[in-house]
Structure 1
Amino acid sequence: MNVRPPMKKLKVATTSLSGCFGCHMSLLDIDERLLELAKLVEFDRSPITDIKTCGPCDIALIEGAVCNSENVHVLRELRRNCKMLVAVGACAITGGLPAQRNQRDVGEILQRCYVDMPGAQGRVPDDPELPLLLDKVYPINEIVRVDYFIPGCPPSGDALWKYLTDLIGGRMPRLDYQSFRFD
């Protein structure tokens, strides 16, 4: 699929909160189309660029759920700096697999993992450098306003390509049901 470059390259930022990084792997699964994408956009914060902060951008793609204070900070920074925020994948949209911890008390989980388990270190880590865990895991739309959602676990590279090229081309993004994948 050939996409006409916009008059000015759009700036795209991506980040992963608490999840498996599978959605970013799907972005890489667009394979040689990455070169075509690079003609259309300039990447800001992203593992592709290794930039850790987000400047003003047109589109921000966010995967992963919100589990700790650092996730909240990063998510709010991206929302503040982007025109369109896109929740990518089941974790960002519903909390996904990380949200399974919502069935238990966080204190009990930490006690079990760090103190009670055989071979555990005997105390819950309390280094000030560690981000504070939230009371539960949240989908990103419970923290900030989300403009678009790309479902899947993870969405396929083809689905991400279609969605991005629709957004870049100024079209309403649409995916047919066959595009959805939940591995």
Structure 2
Amino acid sequence: MSKAKMATVWLDGCSGCHMSFLDIDERLITVGKLADLLYSPLVDTKEFPEMADVTLVEGAVSSEEDFEKIQKVRAHTKILVALGDCAVTANVPGMRNPFKPEALLDRAYLENADENQHIPVKVIPPLRKMSVPIHQVVDVDVFVPGCPPSADTIFYVVTELLAGRTPDLTGKTRFGA
């Protein structure tokens, strides 16, 4: 029997959920026995696979690049997991929503810069009007709140999904912890 195919994706967030995933520590060996990690900021693969069985998505949809990426990920994923408060609610990235993208860029690259004052256009993807949780763009199968979710919670969710079960997160996590 072949192993499951797994991916992790980082949109607009701090990478805390990926750090928590790494905090699984030696249990990563167990995950590795159950699934091949085909795409992730933790590996060198540049293209999302044709199909992943489970994809953990960290972060909110804040840029055009995030928007395009989450649509591609959803189209090529059987079970999509919103991992962490940014993916579930837009959390910290959503704090920019009262401001227009132009005002944010002016503040970051013009007002707060002492030298080389200009707004980059090649390395910074265009911002969307609002930063939104991923379920406002694509269908999500499992929501895992927490900022970040604990390593124990992430391990539980991943192993349950890879075993073909829907994880029951009752009492296992909460927003902000």
CA contact (8 A) 2:12 2:93 kept: yes
Check the 8 A contact 1:156/1:180 in 2, yes or no: no
1:93-108 aligned within 5 A: 93-108=88-103
Equivalent residues, number = 176
Give aligned-pair identity as a percent: 40
- Of residues 73, 77, 81 in structure 2, which corresponds to 1:82? 77
Residue 13 of structure 1 is matched in structure 2 by 7
Tell me, in whole angstroms, the C-alpha distance in 1 between the residues paired with 2:160 and 2:39.
21
Q: Tell me which residue corresponds to 2:116.
A: 121
Q: TM-score, structure 2 length as denominator? A: 0.92
Structure 2 residue 171 is the aligned partner of structure 1 residue 177 = yes
In structure 1, the gaps of 5 or more residues are 1-6
Tell me whether 41-50 or 107-116 shows the greater mean CA deviation: 107-116
Root-mean-square deviation over aligned CA pairs: 1.6
For residues 101 and 173 of structure 1, the distance between their equivalents in structure 2, rounded to whole angstroms, comes to: 32
Structure ID, larger Rg: 1
TM-score with structure 1 setting the length: 0.89
Cα deviation, 1:121-179, whole Å, max 9, x if unaligned, reads 3332233x431111110111111111111110000000011111111111221123244
* CA 1:32–1:132: 2 relative to 1, 3 Å: same
Q: Which runs of 5+ in 2 are unaligned?
A: none
Residues 99-120 of structure 1 deviation map (CA, whole Å, 9 limit, x = unaligned): 1000111112222222233615
SS at match of 2:97: helix
Q: Is the 8 A contact 2:10 2:41 kept in 1?
A: no
